[in-house]
A = this chain, B = another copy of it.
Amino acid sequence: MDQYRSLKDHVYDHIAQAIDSGRLAGDDKLSEQQICDALNVSRTPVREALIQLASDGYLENLPRKGFHVKAMNEESAREIVEIIGPLDGRAALLACPRMDEDDRAQLQFLHESMQLAIAKSMLKKYDDLQHEFHDYYVQRCGNEKLIGYVRQLNRYFMKREYAHVDHDKQIALLQQANDEHAEIVRLFLAGDATALQRYVRDVHWSIDNAPFLVW
């Protein structure tokens, strides 16, 4: 069963990846013609992909003036931080009773891997593992709509930059975050879904001391 992928989907993935990888950023304007030339397709599938990307929050569409990449600014960062906690916490709550022994072992393994990454100052590695950690239980919450929301919100954390924070301070922040991961793992192991939700929502994603508000 070879699953059909339209040119629209192909274009969609191409642009989405370019944005996620940071190759397209800021308020970059997208030229339809340029995309057509690059991918050897006509404007129809390109426009359809752009409309979908705009609907999914990747782009913005100024009527009669085209599409441009939605810039990350203070305001949208604040909006994301205000929402992610309740959603991630709810995902943890729902995932908790759906985890089996192997799942819990995976979470523990990821936590210890992150600790290793911190010890070796492998910041990028830590970042990847952190996403994998959160993704792991979100993917198992059994709520497709919730999974979609969290995925969309997390996209913005992909492009975080650490440049303007000095290295020691950065390590300290990661260590704090991973201590929280330890508690999250503990609550998953204990199977205390309610406490888990509260901890993820109110502590790990605390609006106040959000150490993740770093771009």
Task: Give A residues with C-beta under 8 Å from B.
Answer: 4, 6, 8, 44, 47-48, 51-52, 55-56, 63-64, 76, 78-80, 82-83, 85-87, 89-90, 94, 143-146, 149, 201
Enumerate chain B residues within 8 angstroms of A48, measured Cβ to Cβ: 47-48, 51
Report the bound CA distance from A79 to B91 in whole Å: 11
Enumerate chain B residues within 8 angstroms of A143, measured Cβ to Cβ: 78-79, 82-83
Contact A90 B79 (CB under 8 A): no
Enumerate chain B residues within 8 angstroms of A149, measured Cβ to Cβ: 83, 149
Report the bound CA distance from A78 to B82 in whole Å: 24
Listed A/B pairs (20) with beta-carbon separation below 8 Å? A6-B63, A48-B51, A51-B51, A55-B55, A76-B145, A79-B143, A79-B145, A80-B145, A82-B94, A82-B143, A83-B87, A83-B90, A83-B143, A83-B145, A83-B146, A86-B86, A86-B87, A86-B90, A86-B201, A149-B149
New A-B pairs, 6, CB < 8 Å, besides A83-B145, A86-B201: A51-B52, A55-B56, A76-B145, A79-B143, A86-B86, A149-B149
Q: Which residue of B lies closest to A78 (CB)?
A: B143
Expressed in whole angstroms, the minimum distance between the Cβ of A195 and any Cβ of chain B is 14
Report the bound CA distance from A174 to B54 in whole Å: 39
Give the 3 A-B CB pairs with smallest separation, nearest first: A86-B86, A55-B55, A79-B145
